[in-house]
Amino acid sequence: MKKIKYSVVALIVVAVCVSIGYHFSYPIELNMLTLPNHISDFYNRGHSVKDSSAVVLFSGVGIGKNEYYMVEIGEDLGYVKLEKGLTGRYKISHLGYGDGNFRDGIIENNGKKYLLFCGRDITSQISKITVLINGQTYEMDIPKATNHFFVYTEIDNHVEDKQVNRDHINFYNDKAKDITELYNLSGGGIQ
C-alpha cells in the first residue's frame, strides 16, 4: 500500500512539474497592452545591450492556433507570430522585420493554405489588393482606408510557393483605380 501512495505522490509531483514547465513555455497572455513588451524582450534576446527601439503593435489575424500581428520596431516594419498552447497562453515562435512597407507569405494550417499580406500605406489610399498566384487571382479588401493593414485569404491548396511574386500584386483605391505604380513594393516575407 505504501508503494502505491508513493507512486501516486510521485506521479502528482511529476504532473505539477510538467504543468509548470509547460506554463512557462507559453508565458504570454494575449493582451495588447503587454504584448509589445514581450516582443521587445524577444527582439533583444541574446544581446548584451538592449535596443530601446519602440515596438508598436498593429492589427493582426488569427489562423488556427497561430496569431500574426503587424509590428513596427523603430522604423522597421515586421510581424510577430504567436503560437497558442494547450492552456490558452502563447509563445512567440517567430519575429520578422526589416525595411520596406509590405510583407507577405503563404502559410499552411490544417490542410488549407492562406495568403497573408500586411503593409504600411502612408497615404491610406489602398482599398483592395489583388494577387496573381499560379494563374488564379485572389482579392483582399482593406476594411477601410487605413495606413496600416493586415489581411489574408484562403488560396488553392496546391500552391507550392511560400511568397508571392511582387510583380503580380496590384493595389486599387476606393474608386477601383489601379494605384500600384504609386508604391514601392519592397518588403519581406511572413513565415
**Which are the contacts of 132, defined by CB distance < 8 A and separation ≥ 6?**
138, 165, 168
DSSP-derived pairing of the beta strands 187-189 and 102-109: parallel
Per DSSP, 76 falls in state E
For the residues of 116-129, what is the DSSP string, one character each? Answer: EEEEE-TT----EE
As a whole number of angstroms, the distance between CA 108 and CA 154 comes to 10
Q: Give yes or no for residue 175 having a pLDDT over 70.
A: yes
Is a pLDDT exceeding 80 seen at residue 10?
no
Give the DSSP H/E element, type plus range, for residue 18: helix 2-25
Query: pLDDT tens digit string along 46-90?
Result: 777 787 788 999 988 999 999 999 999 999 999 999 999 988 999
pLDDT classification of 14: cutoffs 50, 70, 90 = very low
Say what the pLDDT of residue 18 is.
Answer: 46
Query: Is the pLDDT at 22 greater than 60, yes or no?
Result: no
Question: What is the pTM assigned to this prediction?
Answer: 0.84
